[in-house]
Structure 1
Amino acid sequence: MGVSFIGAGPGDTGLITVKGKRLIEDADMVIYPGSSINPEILELSDGRKINSWDLSFEEVIACIVDEVGRGRAVVKLHSGDPSLFEGTSLYLHALSERGIRGEIVPGVSSLSAVAASLGTELTEDQALIVIRPAGEPWKDDYRFESGSIEKLSGYGAATASAMAIFIGSRYIREIMDIVTYPPDTEVSVAYHASWDDEEIVTGTVADIADKVEEIGVKRSAIILIKS
Protein backbone atom coordinates (compact mmCIF):
# COMPACT_ATOMS: atom_id res chain seq x y z
CA MET A 1 0.00 0.00 0.00
CA GLY A 2 1.33 3.44 -0.92
CA VAL A 3 0.25 7.05 -1.04
CA SER A 4 -1.28 8.97 -3.94
CA PHE A 5 -0.31 12.60 -4.53
CA ILE A 6 -3.35 13.92 -6.34
CA GLY A 7 -3.82 17.18 -8.18
CA ALA A 8 -7.22 18.41 -6.99
CA GLY A 9 -7.44 20.86 -9.87
CA PRO A 10 -7.88 24.63 -9.65
CA GLY A 11 -11.06 24.56 -7.56
CA ASP A 12 -14.02 23.77 -9.81
CA THR A 13 -15.10 20.28 -8.72
CA GLY A 14 -15.80 19.37 -12.34
CA LEU A 15 -12.12 19.76 -13.18
CA ILE A 16 -10.72 16.96 -11.03
CA THR A 17 -9.61 13.92 -13.03
CA VAL A 18 -11.60 10.69 -13.08
CA LYS A 19 -8.68 8.80 -11.53
CA GLY A 20 -8.16 11.42 -8.84
CA LYS A 21 -11.84 11.32 -7.90
CA ARG A 22 -11.82 7.52 -7.63
CA LEU A 23 -8.75 7.48 -5.39
CA ILE A 24 -10.22 10.13 -3.10
CA GLU A 25 -13.44 8.16 -2.79
CA ASP A 26 -11.47 5.02 -1.86
CA ALA A 27 -9.06 6.72 0.57
CA ASP A 28 -8.91 5.92 4.28
CA MET A 29 -7.11 9.20 4.94
CA VAL A 30 -7.04 12.45 2.95
CA ILE A 31 -4.37 15.04 3.74
CA TYR A 32 -5.14 18.48 2.31
CA PRO A 33 -3.51 21.95 2.43
CA GLY A 34 -6.18 24.02 4.12
CA SER A 35 -8.49 26.35 2.24
CA SER A 36 -6.72 25.94 -1.11
CA ILE A 37 -8.84 22.80 -1.67
CA ASN A 38 -12.54 23.15 -2.44
CA PRO A 39 -14.48 21.60 0.49
CA GLU A 40 -16.75 19.83 -1.99
CA ILE A 41 -13.78 17.76 -3.14
CA LEU A 42 -13.09 16.70 0.44
CA GLU A 43 -16.68 15.52 0.71
CA LEU A 44 -15.93 12.85 -1.89
CA SER A 45 -14.17 10.85 0.83
CA ASP A 46 -15.66 9.22 3.91
CA GLY A 47 -12.16 8.73 5.29
CA ARG A 48 -10.29 10.67 7.92
CA LYS A 49 -9.39 14.25 6.91
CA ILE A 50 -6.13 15.89 8.00
CA ASN A 51 -5.55 19.61 7.41
CA SER A 52 -1.80 19.91 6.84
CA TRP A 53 -1.66 23.71 6.79
CA ASP A 54 -0.30 24.00 10.34
CA LEU A 55 1.65 20.74 10.31
CA SER A 56 5.38 20.49 9.70
CA PHE A 57 6.84 18.40 6.90
CA GLU A 58 7.94 15.79 9.44
CA GLU A 59 4.46 15.62 10.98
CA VAL A 60 2.85 15.00 7.59
CA ILE A 61 5.38 12.26 6.81
CA ALA A 62 4.65 10.66 10.19
CA CYS A 63 0.90 10.65 9.46
CA ILE A 64 1.46 8.97 6.11
CA VAL A 65 3.92 6.39 7.46
CA ASP A 66 1.58 5.43 10.30
CA GLU A 67 -1.48 5.07 8.09
CA VAL A 68 0.30 3.16 5.31
CA GLY A 69 1.84 0.91 7.96
CA ARG A 70 -1.68 -0.07 8.96
CA GLY A 71 -2.44 -1.09 5.38
CA ARG A 72 -4.65 1.89 4.65
CA ALA A 73 -4.97 3.99 1.50
CA VAL A 74 -3.64 7.54 1.83
CA VAL A 75 -4.25 10.49 -0.47
CA LYS A 76 -2.33 13.75 -0.24
CA LEU A 77 -4.21 16.44 -2.12
CA HIS A 78 -2.51 19.32 -3.90
CA SER A 79 -4.03 22.45 -5.34
CA GLY A 80 -3.86 22.41 -9.14
CA ASP A 81 -1.16 20.00 -10.27
CA PRO A 82 1.30 18.28 -7.87
CA SER A 83 4.25 18.97 -10.17
CA LEU A 84 4.07 22.78 -9.89
CA PHE A 85 5.51 24.36 -6.72
CA GLU A 86 3.96 21.77 -4.40
CA GLY A 87 7.07 20.19 -2.87
CA THR A 88 5.97 16.77 -4.08
CA SER A 89 9.48 15.50 -4.79
CA LEU A 90 10.50 16.12 -1.16
CA TYR A 91 7.67 13.92 0.06
CA LEU A 92 8.39 11.23 -2.51
CA HIS A 93 12.05 11.10 -1.49
CA ALA A 94 11.33 11.00 2.24
CA LEU A 95 8.75 8.25 1.83
CA SER A 96 10.98 6.25 -0.51
CA GLU A 97 13.66 6.22 2.20
CA ARG A 98 11.05 4.63 4.45
CA GLY A 99 10.11 2.02 1.87
CA ILE A 100 6.82 3.64 0.88
CA ARG A 101 5.88 4.04 -2.75
CA GLY A 102 4.31 7.28 -3.93
CA GLU A 103 2.18 7.80 -7.02
CA ILE A 104 1.59 11.17 -8.68
CA VAL A 105 -1.83 11.74 -10.23
CA PRO A 106 -1.72 14.88 -12.41
CA GLY A 107 -4.31 17.60 -12.08
CA VAL A 108 -5.50 20.63 -14.01
CA SER A 109 -3.18 23.47 -13.05
CA SER A 110 -4.59 26.67 -11.64
CA LEU A 111 -2.61 28.41 -14.38
CA SER A 112 -4.68 26.60 -17.00
CA ALA A 113 -7.81 27.80 -15.21
CA VAL A 114 -6.51 31.37 -15.32
CA ALA A 115 -5.98 31.12 -19.08
CA ALA A 116 -9.48 29.68 -19.52
CA SER A 117 -11.06 32.49 -17.48
CA LEU A 118 -9.16 35.08 -19.50
CA GLY A 119 -10.04 33.37 -22.77
CA THR A 120 -6.41 33.30 -23.83
CA GLU A 121 -3.58 30.96 -24.78
CA LEU A 122 -0.47 30.76 -22.65
CA THR A 123 1.98 30.04 -25.47
CA GLU A 124 1.00 32.39 -28.27
CA ASP A 125 4.65 33.31 -28.64
CA GLN A 126 7.96 31.51 -28.12
CA ALA A 127 7.74 30.47 -24.51
CA LEU A 128 5.92 30.51 -21.20
CA ILE A 129 8.00 31.31 -18.13
CA VAL A 130 6.63 29.78 -14.91
CA ILE A 131 8.27 30.95 -11.70
CA ARG A 132 7.75 31.98 -8.08
CA PRO A 133 9.69 34.19 -5.65
CA ALA A 134 12.71 32.52 -4.06
CA GLY A 135 12.63 31.16 -0.52
CA GLU A 136 9.36 30.35 1.26
CA PRO A 137 6.87 33.06 0.19
CA TRP A 138 3.90 31.27 1.77
CA LYS A 139 5.20 32.02 5.29
CA ASP A 140 3.81 35.02 7.17
CA ASP A 141 7.28 36.29 8.14
CA TYR A 142 8.71 35.96 4.62
CA ARG A 143 10.83 38.79 3.23
CA PHE A 144 10.65 39.13 -0.53
CA GLU A 145 13.43 37.45 -2.54
CA SER A 146 13.20 37.98 -6.28
CA GLY A 147 15.29 34.97 -7.27
CA SER A 148 15.37 34.75 -11.08
CA ILE A 149 12.25 36.81 -11.75
CA GLU A 150 14.13 39.91 -12.95
CA LYS A 151 16.54 37.96 -15.15
CA LEU A 152 13.87 35.78 -16.76
CA SER A 153 11.54 38.73 -17.27
CA GLY A 154 14.27 40.18 -19.48
CA TYR A 155 14.09 37.08 -21.65
CA GLY A 156 10.30 37.29 -21.64
CA ALA A 157 10.33 40.91 -22.73
CA ALA A 158 12.92 40.28 -25.44
CA THR A 159 11.00 37.34 -26.92
CA ALA A 160 7.45 38.60 -26.26
CA SER A 161 6.89 35.56 -24.03
CA ALA A 162 4.41 35.34 -21.17
CA MET A 163 5.45 35.01 -17.54
CA ALA A 164 3.31 33.35 -14.86
CA ILE A 165 4.26 34.02 -11.24
CA PHE A 166 2.90 31.74 -8.51
CA ILE A 167 2.73 32.65 -4.80
CA GLY A 168 3.67 36.25 -5.56
CA SER A 169 0.54 38.37 -5.35
CA ARG A 170 1.36 39.64 -1.84
CA TYR A 171 4.53 41.10 -3.36
CA ILE A 172 2.96 42.51 -6.52
CA ARG A 173 4.58 45.93 -6.12
CA GLU A 174 8.06 44.52 -5.53
CA ILE A 175 7.67 42.24 -8.53
CA MET A 176 6.43 44.97 -10.87
CA ASP A 177 9.35 47.15 -9.76
CA ILE A 178 11.91 44.60 -10.96
CA VAL A 179 10.42 43.03 -14.10
CA THR A 180 11.81 44.44 -17.33
CA TYR A 181 8.67 44.20 -19.43
CA PRO A 182 7.58 47.60 -20.85
CA PRO A 183 5.32 49.59 -18.48
CA ASP A 184 2.29 49.19 -20.77
CA THR A 185 2.55 45.37 -20.86
CA GLU A 186 -0.72 43.66 -19.92
CA VAL A 187 -0.85 42.02 -16.48
CA SER A 188 -3.66 39.96 -14.93
CA VAL A 189 -3.89 38.85 -11.31
CA ALA A 190 -6.32 35.97 -10.85
CA TYR A 191 -7.64 34.81 -7.49
CA HIS A 192 -9.45 31.45 -7.21
CA ALA A 193 -9.73 30.93 -10.97
CA SER A 194 -12.65 28.53 -11.66
CA TRP A 195 -14.10 28.93 -8.12
CA ASP A 196 -17.48 30.58 -7.51
CA ASP A 197 -15.69 33.56 -5.92
CA GLU A 198 -13.20 33.97 -8.78
CA GLU A 199 -11.77 37.47 -9.02
CA ILE A 200 -9.53 38.77 -11.81
CA VAL A 201 -7.85 42.17 -11.88
CA THR A 202 -6.32 43.42 -15.12
CA GLY A 203 -3.95 46.28 -15.73
CA THR A 204 -0.40 46.95 -16.83
CA VAL A 205 3.05 46.64 -15.32
CA ALA A 206 2.74 50.33 -14.44
CA ASP A 207 -0.60 50.23 -12.59
CA ILE A 208 -1.48 46.66 -11.57
CA ALA A 209 0.05 46.98 -8.09
CA ASP A 210 -2.25 49.91 -7.25
CA LYS A 211 -5.29 48.00 -8.50
CA VAL A 212 -4.46 44.81 -6.58
CA GLU A 213 -3.67 46.64 -3.36
CA GLU A 214 -6.93 48.57 -3.64
CA ILE A 215 -9.01 45.38 -3.44
CA GLY A 216 -6.69 43.56 -1.03
CA VAL A 217 -3.91 41.17 -1.96
CA LYS A 218 -4.91 37.50 -2.13
CA ARG A 219 -2.37 34.88 -1.10
CA SER A 220 -3.44 32.30 -3.70
CA ALA A 221 -3.60 34.58 -6.74
CA ILE A 222 -1.50 34.04 -9.87
CA ILE A 223 0.19 36.88 -11.75
CA LEU A 224 0.20 36.55 -15.54
CA ILE A 225 2.25 38.99 -17.63
CA LYS A 226 1.53 38.84 -21.36
CA SER A 227 3.44 40.80 -24.00
Structure 2
Amino acid sequence: MKTNTIITIGRQYGSAGREIGSKVAEAFGIKLYDKEMLARAAKESGICEEIFETHDEKPTNSFLYSLVMDTYSMGYSGSTYTDMPINHKVFLAQFDAIKKIADEGPCILVGRCADYALESYPNVVSVFIHADLDARIRRIARLYNLTDAKAKDTIVKADKKRASYYNYYTNKKWSDSASYELCLNSSELGIEGTAKAIEQYVQLKESIQNEQRTI
Protein backbone atom coordinates (compact mmCIF):
# COMPACT_ATOMS: atom_id res chain seq x y z
CA MET A 1 0.00 0.00 0.00
CA LYS A 2 1.10 3.52 -0.80
CA THR A 3 0.02 6.77 0.81
CA ASN A 4 0.76 10.46 0.47
CA THR A 5 -0.70 11.20 3.89
CA ILE A 6 1.05 12.29 7.07
CA ILE A 7 -0.63 10.68 10.08
CA THR A 8 -0.38 12.20 13.55
CA ILE A 9 -1.33 10.06 16.53
CA GLY A 10 -2.35 11.43 19.91
CA ARG A 11 -2.93 8.72 22.50
CA GLN A 12 -3.97 7.96 26.03
CA TYR A 13 -1.28 6.20 28.03
CA GLY A 14 -1.75 2.45 27.73
CA SER A 15 -3.94 2.62 24.62
CA ALA A 16 -1.18 1.06 22.46
CA GLY A 17 -0.90 4.19 20.31
CA ARG A 18 2.72 3.63 19.33
CA GLU A 19 2.21 -0.07 18.58
CA ILE A 20 -0.81 0.76 16.43
CA GLY A 21 1.17 3.48 14.67
CA SER A 22 3.98 1.00 13.98
CA LYS A 23 1.55 -1.38 12.29
CA VAL A 24 0.12 1.42 10.14
CA ALA A 25 3.63 2.56 9.22
CA GLU A 26 4.55 -0.99 8.23
CA ALA A 27 1.40 -1.37 6.12
CA PHE A 28 2.10 1.85 4.21
CA GLY A 29 5.87 1.42 4.09
CA ILE A 30 6.53 4.75 5.81
CA LYS A 31 8.58 5.83 8.84
CA LEU A 32 7.23 6.28 12.34
CA TYR A 33 8.64 9.01 14.58
CA ASP A 34 8.16 8.94 18.34
CA LYS A 35 11.23 9.51 20.51
CA GLU A 36 13.06 9.93 17.20
CA MET A 37 11.55 13.42 17.01
CA LEU A 38 13.49 14.37 20.14
CA ALA A 39 16.81 13.23 18.70
CA ARG A 40 16.12 15.11 15.47
CA ALA A 41 15.13 18.30 17.30
CA ALA A 42 18.17 18.08 19.59
CA LYS A 43 20.55 17.62 16.68
CA GLU A 44 19.11 20.50 14.66
CA SER A 45 18.71 22.95 17.55
CA GLY A 46 21.98 22.27 19.36
CA ILE A 47 20.11 21.74 22.63
CA CYS A 48 21.26 18.69 24.61
CA GLU A 49 19.07 15.64 23.89
CA GLU A 50 18.72 14.88 27.63
CA ILE A 51 16.91 18.23 27.97
CA PHE A 52 14.35 17.13 25.39
CA GLU A 53 13.81 13.86 27.24
CA THR A 54 13.36 15.74 30.52
CA HIS A 55 10.73 18.01 28.99
CA ASP A 56 9.11 15.37 26.78
CA GLU A 57 5.35 16.11 26.79
CA LYS A 58 5.73 17.72 30.22
CA PRO A 59 5.18 21.48 30.54
CA THR A 60 7.16 23.02 33.35
CA ASN A 61 6.24 26.28 35.00
CA SER A 62 9.27 26.32 37.25
CA PHE A 63 11.13 29.50 36.39
CA LEU A 64 14.17 28.54 38.48
CA TYR A 65 14.44 25.14 36.78
CA SER A 66 14.14 26.79 33.38
CA LEU A 67 16.81 29.30 34.33
CA VAL A 68 19.25 26.60 35.45
CA MET A 69 18.63 24.39 32.42
CA ASP A 70 18.93 27.38 30.11
CA THR A 71 22.71 27.31 30.52
CA TYR A 72 22.75 24.10 28.46
CA SER A 73 21.05 25.60 25.42
CA MET A 74 22.84 26.88 22.37
CA GLY A 75 22.46 27.16 18.63
CA TYR A 76 19.74 29.83 18.37
CA SER A 77 20.26 33.58 18.42
CA GLY A 78 18.19 36.67 19.06
CA SER A 79 17.36 38.35 22.35
CA THR A 80 13.74 37.15 22.40
CA TYR A 81 14.80 33.56 21.96
CA THR A 82 17.68 33.91 24.43
CA ASP A 83 15.34 35.18 27.13
CA MET A 84 12.83 32.41 26.55
CA PRO A 85 12.48 29.63 29.18
CA ILE A 86 14.08 26.36 28.11
CA ASN A 87 10.74 24.50 27.95
CA HIS A 88 9.57 26.96 25.28
CA LYS A 89 12.81 26.55 23.37
CA VAL A 90 12.41 22.78 23.46
CA PHE A 91 8.85 23.06 22.15
CA LEU A 92 9.87 25.40 19.31
CA ALA A 93 12.75 23.10 18.34
CA GLN A 94 10.36 20.13 18.26
CA PHE A 95 7.86 22.19 16.28
CA ASP A 96 10.55 22.94 13.66
CA ALA A 97 11.71 19.32 13.57
CA ILE A 98 8.15 18.05 13.07
CA LYS A 99 7.65 20.37 10.09
CA LYS A 100 10.96 19.35 8.53
CA ILE A 101 10.10 15.66 8.94
CA ALA A 102 6.68 16.25 7.37
CA ASP A 103 8.27 18.12 4.46
CA GLU A 104 10.27 14.97 3.66
CA GLY A 105 7.12 13.01 2.85
CA PRO A 106 4.43 10.73 4.30
CA CYS A 107 5.14 9.44 7.80
CA ILE A 108 3.58 8.84 11.20
CA LEU A 109 4.24 11.21 14.09
CA VAL A 110 3.31 10.12 17.60
CA GLY A 111 2.35 12.73 20.21
CA ARG A 112 4.18 16.00 20.87
CA CYS A 113 1.44 18.23 19.40
CA ALA A 114 2.32 17.12 15.85
CA ASP A 115 -1.29 17.64 14.75
CA TYR A 116 -1.07 21.27 15.87
CA ALA A 117 2.33 21.81 14.28
CA LEU A 118 1.01 20.53 10.95
CA GLU A 119 -2.52 21.95 11.00
CA SER A 120 -1.81 24.07 7.89
CA TYR A 121 -0.68 21.01 5.91
CA PRO A 122 -3.41 19.69 3.57
CA ASN A 123 -2.30 16.05 3.57
CA VAL A 124 -2.52 15.35 7.32
CA VAL A 125 -4.90 13.02 9.15
CA SER A 126 -4.92 13.61 12.90
CA VAL A 127 -5.88 10.56 14.97
CA PHE A 128 -6.53 10.17 18.67
CA ILE A 129 -6.45 6.69 20.20
CA HIS A 130 -8.15 6.06 23.51
CA ALA A 131 -9.14 2.92 25.39
CA ASP A 132 -11.23 1.86 28.37
CA LEU A 133 -9.38 2.42 31.64
CA ASP A 134 -9.62 -1.25 32.69
CA ALA A 135 -7.99 -2.34 29.43
CA ARG A 136 -5.21 0.21 29.85
CA ILE A 137 -4.59 -0.87 33.44
CA ARG A 138 -4.27 -4.50 32.34
CA ARG A 139 -1.87 -3.57 29.53
CA ILE A 140 0.41 -1.38 31.65
CA ALA A 141 0.39 -3.83 34.58
CA ARG A 142 1.41 -6.61 32.21
CA LEU A 143 4.06 -4.64 30.30
CA TYR A 144 5.78 -3.20 33.37
CA ASN A 145 4.97 -5.91 35.94
CA LEU A 146 2.95 -3.54 38.14
CA THR A 147 0.01 -4.01 40.46
CA ASP A 148 -3.31 -2.76 39.10
CA ALA A 149 -3.24 0.11 41.59
CA LYS A 150 0.25 1.19 40.53
CA ALA A 151 -0.63 0.83 36.85
CA LYS A 152 -3.70 3.04 37.31
CA ASP A 153 -1.66 5.66 39.15
CA THR A 154 0.94 5.66 36.35
CA ILE A 155 -1.77 6.03 33.71
CA VAL A 156 -3.52 8.91 35.47
CA LYS A 157 -0.25 10.82 35.93
CA ALA A 158 0.93 10.22 32.36
CA ASP A 159 -2.37 11.34 30.87
CA LYS A 160 -2.40 14.42 33.06
CA LYS A 161 1.06 15.40 31.82
CA ARG A 162 0.13 14.84 28.19
CA ALA A 163 -3.08 16.82 28.56
CA SER A 164 -1.29 19.70 30.31
CA TYR A 165 1.40 19.80 27.62
CA TYR A 166 -1.08 19.73 24.74
CA ASN A 167 -3.49 22.22 26.27
CA TYR A 168 -0.62 24.54 27.25
CA TYR A 169 1.00 24.73 23.80
CA THR A 170 -2.00 24.47 21.45
CA ASN A 171 -5.35 26.19 21.04
CA LYS A 172 -7.10 22.83 21.35
CA LYS A 173 -8.04 20.38 24.08
CA TRP A 174 -6.26 17.04 24.46
CA SER A 175 -8.49 13.96 23.94
CA ASP A 176 -11.46 16.11 22.85
CA SER A 177 -12.93 14.66 19.64
CA ALA A 178 -13.22 18.17 18.18
CA SER A 179 -9.42 18.45 18.27
CA TYR A 180 -8.86 15.50 15.90
CA GLU A 181 -10.08 14.21 12.57
CA LEU A 182 -10.45 10.61 13.73
CA CYS A 183 -10.90 9.14 17.23
CA LEU A 184 -10.75 5.39 17.84
CA ASN A 185 -11.19 3.10 20.85
CA SER A 186 -8.45 0.47 20.74
CA SER A 187 -10.08 -1.59 23.50
CA GLU A 188 -13.08 -2.07 21.20
CA LEU A 189 -11.24 -2.66 17.93
CA GLY A 190 -8.03 -4.22 19.24
CA ILE A 191 -4.56 -3.24 18.08
CA GLU A 192 -4.88 -4.86 14.64
CA GLY A 193 -8.40 -3.55 14.13
CA THR A 194 -7.51 0.00 15.12
CA ALA A 195 -4.53 -0.02 12.75
CA LYS A 196 -6.75 -1.36 9.98
CA ALA A 197 -9.36 1.34 10.64
CA ILE A 198 -6.71 4.07 10.27
CA GLU A 199 -5.40 2.51 7.07
CA GLN A 200 -8.88 2.25 5.56
CA TYR A 201 -9.78 5.80 6.56
CA VAL A 202 -6.61 7.19 4.96
CA GLN A 203 -7.17 5.19 1.77
CA LEU A 204 -10.82 6.26 1.55
CA LYS A 205 -9.94 9.92 2.10
CA GLU A 206 -7.21 9.83 -0.54
CA SER A 207 -9.58 8.09 -2.98
CA ILE A 208 -12.25 10.77 -2.49
CA GLN A 209 -9.70 13.56 -2.88
CA ASN A 210 -8.39 12.00 -6.11
CA GLU A 211 -11.92 11.75 -7.50
CA GLN A 212 -12.57 15.40 -6.65
CA ARG A 213 -9.40 16.45 -8.45
CA THR A 214 -10.49 14.69 -11.65
CA ILE A 215 -13.97 16.24 -11.72
Q: Same fold (TM over 0.5)?
A: no
Length-normalised TM-score, structure 1: 0.33
The structure in which a higher percent of residues are helix is 2
The structure in which a higher percent of residues are strand is 1
Q: Which has the higher contact order (CA 8 A, sep 6+)?
A: 2
